[in-house]
């Protein structure tokens, strides 16, 4: 099962080696992180990032090994944006000459870059960005300027204190004409003393949600006061400005820049499976340790994991972690396919890939954020302790619901694609994840044929149910939109319905990709059978949760919905014997989990007791301030009322 989760034996061995390297290095200790003040916390993060880079250089780690090392260090840092956004953007949008100049500097950490797109006043609406880049043909330079307070760059990770350079997105103005938003490489700080350069105002935006959490990251604010940069620091792979001040498109198709977006969003989906699996691992192990009620004749109390109420909340999250892992695998393939097609000037699959990655980013990050919080609740009162690992995990993860596209906005983008697909059915055959729309007549007409609970263990019956739901909701939205004279007014009015239709489409993708995974050769005794059970749990849980959709579109009868729930309860009993083995297959070290409740050895209560005494508040028996503030109250003399 560990191989199935990792994707291959080679990946398992590589990730395991990096996880142990980090776990056994005292520099990467993180249990005291939530107790540090902001300055000390940030300095500690800089120390860890520097030590990590030293290991990468000294051990001559490959790019893949370095990626796993940074993952297991498990601390948001400026390096995340440097390697995850700054470098990929230059690779995707820079000319060969620009890549030759900037990539060696970035890859050797001679410069530190961040991705400065979001502003104080604009996030999702990229075309609404206010920062300007005005070309001065006489000086052959761009003038980067922040004309308003709301044009201040706001949120970029690594910007606040660490970055020397930024990839700044600004409104390109040439000869008084606006030519869209483009990227510019701008130096922010001196490479000698790291002080801000003239015209640059830069700093950190302040404390964020959580104790340590994402406060290890220096999310920044940045303003420009007519800062000049050379013309060749505009990323010009797709669009160019000549020395004479002429704006022109290159031979490289503009659609190529979407390849970077597809790449980033597929990594977010993979990261969702990792974050959710960590929370599920903690909650599952602790649910096996914790006992409450049910003692008979003085015997042990019942393990919490044996209660159906616990199983019905926990096991769907376990199944979701695996589902997101496998759809993430498929998205990696999709990205490579799109990349190859783009290089061959084939843009036919780009709209679908964009909609697919946007929708799955939204679906998986929302479910993961909610799932982490549910796991905290599943751990009872102890889940509220920082030492459980869950509050910190939640605080670090939830920004994923907003960055790289607000989740609701992304679902509305998916909705536009779905509605367009429906409108073109008369003359254009849908492909890929929308291929089922080509059978819309059948899906609209035929209803569910399930007669027994066991019938729900038929992959074909499950896929057809999700296809019918998605198709009928999409068609219903299309018909409603047709009633509006102004399509945009209709889109705004029906936005909530359109979001629900997008969710139905995206859930179909995840379910179908999980089922496709099971059609592959999966080695290991009992591995495939265990994954099949999880697949049915995931699908039938969604069916039960959203049964209102299935009933409203007329595909299911109430009886069939009840049969699905009956089968779901049976499946929980089949997951139970292997629950611990399934989370152990994630192969996470105790260091990476960062949780006393999720310890591999199950030694929870003694370690909780020890951790309590390590809190700085327990350094003395009498707290600082007691004699000054509390004792006078205790010693006060009360006077009788004069009334």
Domain membership of residue 637 (yes or no) is no
Mean pLDDT of 450-468: 97
DSSP string, 453-520: GGGGG-HHHHHHHHHHHHHHHHHHHHHHHTT-SSHHHHHHHTHHHHHHHHHHHHHHHHHHHHHHHHTS
In a domain, 63, yes or no: yes
Residue ending a domain, choose from 221, 250, 279: 250
Report if residue 87 sits inside a domain.
no
499 and 446 share one domain: yes
Q: Are residues 64 and 159 in the same domain?
A: no
Residues with catalytic function: 404
Tokens read off for 555:
């595909």
Same domain (yes/no): 520, 557: yes
Flag whether pLDDT at 218 surpasses 70.
Answer: yes
Q: Are 294 and 302 in contact (CB under 8 A)?
A: yes
61 shares its domain with 118: no
Cα-based angle 107, 108, 113 (whole degrees, multiple of 5): 60
Q: Is residue 603 part of a domain?
A: no
Residue 538 lies in a domain: yes
Check residue 536 and give its pLDDT. 98
| Same structural domain, 402 and 319 | yes
Which residues form the domain of 145? 112-250
pLDDT at residue 639 is higher than 80: no
Phi-psi map region of 55: left, alpha, beta (phi>0 left; psi -120 to 50 alpha)? alpha
**Are 225 and 351 in a shared domain?**
no
* 490-536 per-position pLDDT tens digit: 999 999 999 999 999 999 999 999 999 999 989 888 999 999 999 99
| Residues 286 and 203 reside in one and the same domain | no
Give the domain-ending residue among 250, 283, 316: 250
pLDDT digit string, tens, across residues 241-299: 999 999 998 877 777 777 777 888 899 999 999 999 999 999 999 999 999 998 788 88
> Residue 643's pLDDT band (boundaries 50, 70, 90)?
low
Asked whether 405 and 362 are in contact (CB, 8 A), the reply is yes
pLDDT confidence of residue 347: 81
Total domains, the chain = 3
Average pLDDT, whole number, for the chain?
94
Q: Establish if 122 belongs to a structural domain.
A: yes
- Of all residues in the chain, what percent carry a pLDDT higher than 70? 99
CATH of the domain at 50: 1.10.540.10
Residue 154 has pLDDT above 80, yes or no: yes
Once rounded to an integer, what is the mean pLDDT over residues 78-89? 94
**Beta strands at 165-174 and 132-136: parallel, antiparallel or unpaired:** parallel
Instruction: Give the residue from 25, 51, 75 where a domain finishes.
Output: 75
Q: Are residues 193 and 281 in the same domain?
A: no
- What is the predicted pLDDT for the residue at 637? 81
Q: What is the pLDDT of residue 530?
A: 96
Mean pLDDT of 20-36: 93
Based on the domain organization, do 294 and 341 belong to the same domain?
Answer: yes
Alpha carbon distance 600, 281 (integer Å): 10
The answer to whether residues 245 and 174 touch, using CB atoms and an 8 Å cutoff, is yes
Same domain, 244 and 266: no
pLDDT band at 641 (very low <50, low <70, confident <90, very high): low
Instruction: Specify the CATH number for the domain of residue 328.
Output: 1.20.140.10
Is residue 283 domain-shared with residue 319, that is, in the same domain? yes
The CATH number covering residue 156 comes to 2.40.110.10
Neighbour count for residue 638 (Cβ, 10 Å): 5
In a domain, 512, yes or no: yes
pLDDT at position 285 is 98
If asked whether residues 233 and 269 sit together in one domain, one would say: no
Task: For residue range 373-411, list pLDDT tens digits in order.
Answer: 999 999 999 999 999 999 999 999 999 999 888 999 999
Residue 186 pLDDT: 98
Is 546 in contact with 536 (CB distance < 8 Å)? no
Report the Cα 146 to chain-centroid distance in Å.
30
Domain assignment present for 364: yes
């Amino acid at each position: 099962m560990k191989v199935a989760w990792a994707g291959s034996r080679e990946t398992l061995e590589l990730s395991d080696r990096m996880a142990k390297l980090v776990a056994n290095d005292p520099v990467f200790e993180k249990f005291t992180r939530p107790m540090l003040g902001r300055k000390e916390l940030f300095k500690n993060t800089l120390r860890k990032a520097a030590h990590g880079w030293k290991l990468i250089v000294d051990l001559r780690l490959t790019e893949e090994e370095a990626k796993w090392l940074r993952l297991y260090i498990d601390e948001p840092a400026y390096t995340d944006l440097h390697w995850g956004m700054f470098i990929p953007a230059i690779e995707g949008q820079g000319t060969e000459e620009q890549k030759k100049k900037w990539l060696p500097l970035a890859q050797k950490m001679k410069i530190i870059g961040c991705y400065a797109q979001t502003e104080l006043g604009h996030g999702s609406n990229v075309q609404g960005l206010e920062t300007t880049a005005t070309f001065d043909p006489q000086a052959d330079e761009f003038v980067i300027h922040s004309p308003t307070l709301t044009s201040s760059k706001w949120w970029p990770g690594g910007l606040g204190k660490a970055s020397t350079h930024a990839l700044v997105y600004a409104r390109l103005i040439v000869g008084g004409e606006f030519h869209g938003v483009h990227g510019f490489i701008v130096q922010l700080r001196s490479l000698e003393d790291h002080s801000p350069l003239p015209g640059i105002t830069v700093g950190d935006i302040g404390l964020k949600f959580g104790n340590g959490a994402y406060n290890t990251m220096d999310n920044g604010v940045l303003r420009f006061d007519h800062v000049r940069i050379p013309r060749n620091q505009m990323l010009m792979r797709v669009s160019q400005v000549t020395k004479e001040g002429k704006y022109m498109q290159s031979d490289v198709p503009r659609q190529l820049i979407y390849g970077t977006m597809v790449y980033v969003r597929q990594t977010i989906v993979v990261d969702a499976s990792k974050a959710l699996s960590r929370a599920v691992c903690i909650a599952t192990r602790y649910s096996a340790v914790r006992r409450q009620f049910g003692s008979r004749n003085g015997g042990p109390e019942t393990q919490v994991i044996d209660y159906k109420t616990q199983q019905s909340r926990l096991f769907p999250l376990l199944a979701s972690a695996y589902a997101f892992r496998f759809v993430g695998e498929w998205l990696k393939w999709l990205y490579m396919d799109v990349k190859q097609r783009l290089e061959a000037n084939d843009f036919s699959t780009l709209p679908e890939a964009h909609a697919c990655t946007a929708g799955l980013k939204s679906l998986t990050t929302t479910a993961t954020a909610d799932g982490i919080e549910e796991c905290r609740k599943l751990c009872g009162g102890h889940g509220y302790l920082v030492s459980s690992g869950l509050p910190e995990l939640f605080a670090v993860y939830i920004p994923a619901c907003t960055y790289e596209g607000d989740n609701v906005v992304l679902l509305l983008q998916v909705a536009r694609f779905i509605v367009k697909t429906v409108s073109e059915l008369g003359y254009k055959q849908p492909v890929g994840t929308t291929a089922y729309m080509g059978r819309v007549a059948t899906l609209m007409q035929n209803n569910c044929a399930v007669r027994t609970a066991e019938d729900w263990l038929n992959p074909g019956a499950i896929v057809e149910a999700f296809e019918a739901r998605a198709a009928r909701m999409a068609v219903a939205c299309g018909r409603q939109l047709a009633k509006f004279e102004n399509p945009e007014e209709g889109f705004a009015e029906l936005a909530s319905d359109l979001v629900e239709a997008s969710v139905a489409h995206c859930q179909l993708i995840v379910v179908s990709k999980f089922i496709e995974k099971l059609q592959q050769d999966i080695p290991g005794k009992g591995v495939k059978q265990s994954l099949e059970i999880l697949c049915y749990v995931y699908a039938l849980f969604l069916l039960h949760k959203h049964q209102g959709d299935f009933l409203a579109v007329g595909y299911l009868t109430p009886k069939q919905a009840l049969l699905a729930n009956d089968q779901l309860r049976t499946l929980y009993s089949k997951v139970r014997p292997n629950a611990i083995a399934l989370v152990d297959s994630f192969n996470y070290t105790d260091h990476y989990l960062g949780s006393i409740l999720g310890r591999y050895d199950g030694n929870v209560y003694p370690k909780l007791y020890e951790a309590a005494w390590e809190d700085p508040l327990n350094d003395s028996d009498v707290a600082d301030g007691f004699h000054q503030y509390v004792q006078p109250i205790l010693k006060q003399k009360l006077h009788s009322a004069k009334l």
